[in-house]
Structure formats: C-alpha cells, structure tokens
Chains A and B, each alone.
Chain A
C-alpha cells in the first residue's frame, strides 16, 4: 500500500480528524468557552437541554456543554500523563527484564504475570490509597497500574526480536546486551509499541473517567469528564444530558485513541479482519449441470468413482473469479490405485476434494457428471446417501497433526462411522475401532483408543487416520499427500500400511502426491496435472517409456537413479515449462522442449 492510499483510507482520515479536534479543544477550549463554563447564574440553575444550553445547566447555572468542552484539556493532560508513566515504566522494566540473566528473568516475568492476573481497576484503587484521592494521585495510580501489562508487552516483543537470526549473529560477533538492545531490538519493536501506546491511552482515558466518577480522581473545583459524570448522575432525573453528555465525550475521545491505534497498525484487528474476509470471500455454490448425466453403461459399472469436465473457481478479493481447475476428467476403477502428481497449485488436491464432494462453500464447482458407484453426486444427497458415503469413502489428509480432532479421543473418532452410519452399539463399535488400529499396526489398540491425538506420534496419527477409513467398508480411499508431512522412515511405514489396507479391503485409492517416484512405485496409473488440467495419464510401470508431455518428461528426468552421472548437476524443470511460461500453450505438444541439463548448480 502506498503512502498516499494509506493516508486516504477512511480509518486514517477519521483518526486524523478526531485527533485534530481533540488537540484543538484541549488548546483552545478553555480560552473560547472558559468564561461560559465558569459563569454562574442562579436564575438558570438545573435547566434541561435547550438551544442556548445544549446539555442544560448545572446546580450553579453553568452551561454543561461549555464545561464539557473546557474539561477536554484537563482530561487529556491527565490521560497523557498517566499513559506516559505506564509507557516509560513499561519500557524500562520490559527491556531490563529482557537482558537479565535466566533465573532473575524468570522471577521477574513470573511476578509480572501475577500482577497481570489482577484487574487494572483493583490495582488503581490500591495505588490510590497510597497517593491519595487527588488528580495527581490518580494519575500516578493509573500510570503505575498500567506498568505491568506494558512491561510484559515490551518484554515479549524484545524476546521475540532477540530470538531472530540477525540478533543471534550480532551476539556471536560480540555485541553486548545493551548494544543489541539499542541497535536491533528498539528499532524493531517501534511499530507494535506505538500501536499499543495508543490503545493504552484509550484504556487510560476510560479508567480516569471511572476514577474521577468514583470521586477518587479530580476534586472540585477542578473538573474533568469523569467528575462531571459524577455530578450529573446525581441529578439524572432533572437533566439526563448532564450525565450523558460527558459520557459521550469520554466514548468519542476513547474512540479517537482506538482509531489512532488501528491507523498506526495499518490494519484492523485480527478478529474483525477474519470476519470481514469471510464475509467478503464466500459465495454460494453454483453447481449447475450442463447436460444430463449419461445412463450408466456396462463399462461404467466397473468404475467406483467418476467426475467429468470438472471446473473449480474461486472468487477473488477484487470481485473477480479465478479458475483453479479447468476441465478435468477423472475415472477410478474398482480396486485401482490412481496417482495424481503435480506441483503445488496444479489443482490436484482440489480435484480430489471435489471428487469426495467436500469442497467448501466458497468454491464454484461445475461438472457434467459426478458419480460415486451408482450414486449421482450432483443432486442433493439424502441422509442414507450420506451414510453410504461416510462408510464407503475414506479420506486421509496431508498433515496428521491437524486432521484428527484434538479434543476427542482416538476411540471417539474411530467409533463414529460404525455408530452413526452402521448402526453398531458402542461396544461393537469399539471392537471394530480396535481391530482397525490393530490392522494399521498400532500395538495395544484397545488401550490406545482411550488416548488423545496429542499422545500419538505423527506417523501413528497418520496410521490412525487410515484406520479411521477402515472402520467403515471403504470402496474408495482418497489420500491427499498422506506422507508429505512425515519424515522418510515413517513415510515408508505409512505407505506400507496403506498398501496393506488396500490389499485387505480391495478399495480403490486416489493417491495425491508431488513425488513422482513414490507415485509410480505405488500406483497402477498416474495422472499428471498442471495448472488445473490433466496433461497426461500413464500406466505406472511404463512411465519412463511412455511419457509424452514435456512436463512429465521433465519431472521424470529430475529423478536420479542408479545410472545418473553424479559428477553432473541434477536436471531441473526448465524455465520454459514453469507455470507462467506454459500457462495457455499447454495443449500444443509441438512446442515440446526436451529437458535440458541446467548449467547452474542446483540447491538440493
């Protein structure tokens, strides 16, 4: 975002206008309205709101509106004073904590955490006892009560920066703790510091209003907004605006500080952003059928799943649509192991998720046919259809650390399909789940069912996922990069388990990977995808011989084997075949470029 657009966004504009207004009132308020705010007039005591007195008058006949404007100066001065105390104290304590040796540092942060457990107001009241119920006392109390949270913030920021590589490097070359603080830590925490400073000012303002309202802050004859609130609420039946007016002033000024904080941050709060992004990004599914699905023929009977002319598009942030899968046909025969290879963004996972009917609400999917066995997946599924899919279609995802529900036991998650869809009693379901775990090579299965996913290692979780598919009667298992997140030894074990599961159940498998070696070893048939299209479909055992498409050839050429000349650099995908270069010319096989030995050294 350029500086210009940053300055022009409504958030920044309102923050700047609000700040300017507050500064103007603080500087000029007492000069302009000072006389009106002090002028007592016994004949017009306690008047309700009118054109002459927008917020009415107080018990001495003074104009409440003028007093609200004049009180801006004192309110802001006290707020800024207290904020400054909190900031300075926080920075000093936070930075000192960050360069302390290990044990004093632990004690110090422990103490901060204890102090942070107490609500700010309680700390303020405690300090008020010490310094007395005066404006200065309240400023000190609010400022000091704010130090722990700010010290914790500064410490966290400093600790996160000092863990970074360049700071470690500086330490290695002998820069002392103070040098690191000044040269590396301070410049890097400046932005979050200012964001939080403005937010702290907002909280301070509200606390001050609260304290003065309790009669423990500013004392008569001086007045800030909190003090005016306290006086106003006593007469709320006579003139509600005498209390509501200063209240509005407090809220508006607090809002200005918050806006300022968010304008400094350059973006709105995370939560809000998440909500807004959701609201803007999603579009309802428009699954239209372009033609009637053809009647099932004899050869179709051999297929367990089929999807024809699949297009998947997503709405973009600027209101457009981007097509990620562009006309893919995929047939899976019974018991067949089909591999889909392609690099990230080739649409292989999307295709698999669409085949399973699991794409989210924001995807726009069109197909001319989509079947699972004899089930037409393009129409609305009935409860019994869904039960059948739950039992017969298994899914395994890339990252076993996130694909199991952390809040539920393994047993709970493995008994669900038998209980919900197969009508088993809990006891039978547990036996089935234990058998499934046993089948994927997890020892002591019955005891393991009582454990939570975090008590399983990564490889065991992935085997539990395979086991979950086995609790049903799987006829198709879709495995979306099931080994990518695992290390090589565990990878081989998981592949072994998957293979055995396939042999025992006779289920077909759609196996997605970017690893062409793994795919050609494991699968019967290999489909190569690139930029949302299928570029080639090959028999796995003849992949080296039959590959026609330059991209496939390039992928295969990159595989080292026993005959590879190890004195030469490994080949890489030539730049002509990278997605940008190949975007639309993919169908013209004549443009084929043979893989070339790149003369640059390849990072391995």
Chain B
C-alpha cells in the first residue's frame, strides 16, 4: 500500500478528522443539514406514535369484553335503545368502514357524539380544553421559573461545604416533595389553606383565587424534582474541565455561571422539563377531580366511569396530542440550542 507523503508544513489530522469529513460529505450528498435530518426523524416518530394512539383508541370498543353498547347503557336499557345507539355509533357497519370513518372524522374534527351527554365530543373538548391547558401551563411556568435559581443555589450551597446542615435539610425536603403525589399535596393544601386558615376556596372554578391551590398542588412535586435535576447537573458541570478552562481565563463569576455553565444544564433541565409538562397534563386529571374543576380530566374520569366510549376516545387522542406535541417542541428547542443533539442518533 502506498501512502502519499503528508505535506509536512501543513498540520493535517489523519484519522478522526478524515472520518468526520467523510460522514459530513455523505450527509451533504443527501442534501440535508444534520439539523433538518434530525427534525424529520423526530417528525416521523411523532406520526408513528400518533398512529399507534389512533389505532389503539379505535380498537377500544373492540377490546371491551362483551357488548360495549350494552355496557354503556346498562342492563335496564331497552333493546330498541341499544340498537339505536349501535347505529348512532356506527357499530352496525363493517369494521374497515368504521375505521375509515373514524380516521376521516379525526381530519374533519368530528370526534363522534357522546353517548352520555348526547353532544358532539369535539364541542365538549373545545369547551374544557382551555381550562386544563391553563392549569398545566401555569404550573409548568411556576415549576421551571422556581426550579432554575433554586437548583443552582442548592448546587452552590452544597459545593461551598458551608452550612452543611441546611444543605442536608434542603435535600431531605426535596426528597419528600418529590415522593408525595400531587393529589395528596392537594388534600394537604386544602386542609391547611382552605379549612384551617380559610384563605382560599377548597373547590370550584371561576375566580382567579380558585386557581391558586390547584396550580400550587400541580407545581410542587415537579418543581422539587426539577430542582434536584438542576442541582445535580450544576454540580456535575462545575466539576468539568471546561469550567476549569473558563476559570483559567479568569472570567467574572457572572460569565462563568451564565455563559459557560447555564447552557450545559439547560439541555438536561429542558429534557426533564418536557417530561414534567407531559406528566402535568396527566396530573391535571387528579387535581381537577380534587378541586371539582370542569376540565378535560373531570370529563375523562366521568366518561370512563360511565363507559362513554366516544368521549373517552376523543379525550385520549387530545391528551396524546398534547404529550406528543410537548415532546416534539422540546426536541426542536434542544436541536436549536444544543449543537450536539442534532448529530447524536436519537
């Protein structure tokens, strides 16, 4: 094997650089920037996930043991009513026809009619969706805005080694807050602030004051979790060599923490933040029930109890859309701010 002699004046990397160049070249030939390819991949995953959800919710009625219409209407319903409902739900048609009607309905926004409420499922969801969204978004904002400074503070406190007792206490309190589920936090908050102190309403929806306890109950657990994540990430980042490099440049503390450390904890925080937001939408189901808030969660619970299948199908798909949408948004943000996530295979 003959190797052409290296130009000695020009310093050229042989192994890794050449390999990287070849990978880059192949990507260019496909005509996609790595970021676009990454986003397309993510979009593909979203479509597949959505298909899984749609198929699963379509199959819901077939998975119910026995006759779903009879189960929904109860044993006392007349055979005529059962038959009429069966026609109304389209269950008298062949399965493939039902499936295409179901898919077509999704694209036109027609999610069927609620058996129990005798109203279009889409209308009910549209009416209740903003409430749930408001709860989840408020709680998310409070959790993130509170957790970033608290987590960085906790990391600096732990690293300084001073006030060790306080540091341990913070750690213990965080552990407890993470472990207690939101609906139990809600019960505790109600018994303290509504029953004992009488400051805030225990249930209901309409005034701004009604939102305070539900939002706090939703936010506390995720916030504690995020504080823990930010703290651990920050401690890890402060120990890295590149932070020593930054200190070796004798940059002001502000620059060291904000420019060099913060971007490196944002990635992990945002990933966890996305999971939290997705988890928050689920937690609203319980919190809405505790506080009797007319959102998607309460209609989901009552529809599950009443076996109102079209309603359940609609709400499941909407919840899935929220969860998948949040995941996609987080991925897009990550791809934009973190240069590495676009090249790592996900």
Contacts and interface: CB of A to CB of B under 8 A. Distances in A.
Contacts of A564: none
Contacts of A413: 245
Nearest to A283: B161
Given A280-B164, A395-B248, A244 B13 contact: no
A407 B262 CA distance: 9
A247 B248 contact: no
B48 interface: yes
Given A117-B278, A397-B241, A214 B251 contact: no
A441 B279 CA distance: 50
A384 to B, nearest CB: 10
Interface in B292-343: 300-301, 304-305, 307, 309, 312, 316, 319-320, 323-324, 327, 338-340, 343
B323 A118 contact: yes
Contacts of B250: 386-387, 389-390, 421
Contacts of A402: 240-242
Contact of A457 (B20, B190, B290): B20
B30 interface: no
Contacts of A114: 45, 48-49, 52
A408 B323 contact: no
A497 interface: yes
Contacts of B27: none
A443 interface: yes
Best-buried of A244, A254, A275, A386 by chain B (most CB within 10 Å): A275
Contacts of B142: none
A236 B52 CA distance: 42
B264 A407 contact: yes
B15 A278 contact: no
A416 B249 contact: yes
A301 B19 CA distance: 49
Interface stretch (A149-157, A356-364, A525-533, A549-557): A356-364
B255 interface: yes
Contacts of A387: 250
Contacts of B17: 457, 459-460
A497 B10 CA distance: 11
A122 B162 contact: no
A441 B11 contact: yes
Interface in A437-479: 440-441, 443, 452, 454-455, 457-460, 463, 465, 468
A78 B275 CA distance: 28
Nearest to A421: B250
A279 B188 contact: no
B209 interface: no
Interface in A82-122: 110-111, 114-115, 117-122
A244 B263 CA distance: 42
Best-buried of B282, B304, B339 by chain A (most CB within 10 Å): B304
B52 to A, nearest CB: 5
Contacts of B28: none
A441 B10 contact: yes
Interface footprint category on A: 35 or more
Contacts of B191: 236, 240, 243-244
Interface in B239-262: 240-242, 244-252, 255, 259-260
A397 B340 CA distance: 22
Contacts of A111: 52
Interface stretch (A8-16, A123-131, A189-197): A123-131
A454 B340 contact: yes
Contacts of B229: 271
Contacts of B340: 406, 452, 454
B140 interface: no
A251 B285 CA distance: 20
Contact of B249 (A229, A278, A407, A417): A417
Contacts of B338: 407
Contact of A129 (B159, B255, B281, B304): B304
Contacts of B202: 236-237
A181 interface: no
A278 B252 contact: no
A280 B160 CA distance: 10
B11 A254 contact: no
Interface stretch (A35-43, A287-295, A485-493): A485-493
A452 to B, nearest CB: 4
Contacts of A582: none
B14 interface: yes
Best-buried of A282, A404, A468 by chain B (most CB within 10 Å): A282
B160 A282 contact: yes
B320 A251 contact: no
A63 to B, nearest CB: 19
B16 interface: yes
B35 to A, nearest CB: 12
A129 B309 contact: yes
A128 B315 CA distance: 14
Nearest to A398: B241
Contacts of A586: none
A132 B64 CA distance: 9
B150 to A, nearest CB: 14
Given A126-B60, A280-B164, A247 B158 contact: no
13 contacts: A213-B183, A229-B184, A240-B191, A250-B181, A255-B179, A279-B161, A361-B161, A395-B244, A403-B245, A406-B340, A407-B264, A420-B255, A454-B343
Interface of B: 10-11, 13-17, 20, 45, 48-49, 52, 56-57, 60, 63-65, 71, 154, 158-162, 164, 167-168, 171, 175, 179-181, 183-184, 187-188, 190-191, 194-196, 202, 228-229, 231-232, 235-236, 240-242, 244-252, 255, 259-260, 263-264, 267, 278-279, 281-283, 285-286, 289-290, 300-301, 304-305, 307, 309, 312, 316, 319-320, 323-324, 327, 338-340, 343
Given A210-B286, A214-B301, 6 more contacts: A122-B319, A122-B323, A129-B60, A275-B235, A395-B248, A421-B250
Interface of A: 110-111, 114-115, 117-122, 125-126, 128-133, 202, 206, 209-210, 213-216, 229, 233, 236-237, 240, 243-244, 247, 250-251, 254-255, 258, 270-272, 274-276, 278-284, 356, 358, 361-362, 383, 386-387, 389-390, 393-395, 397-399, 402-408, 413, 416-417, 420-421, 440-441, 443, 452, 454-455, 457-460, 463, 465, 468, 487, 489-490, 493, 496-497
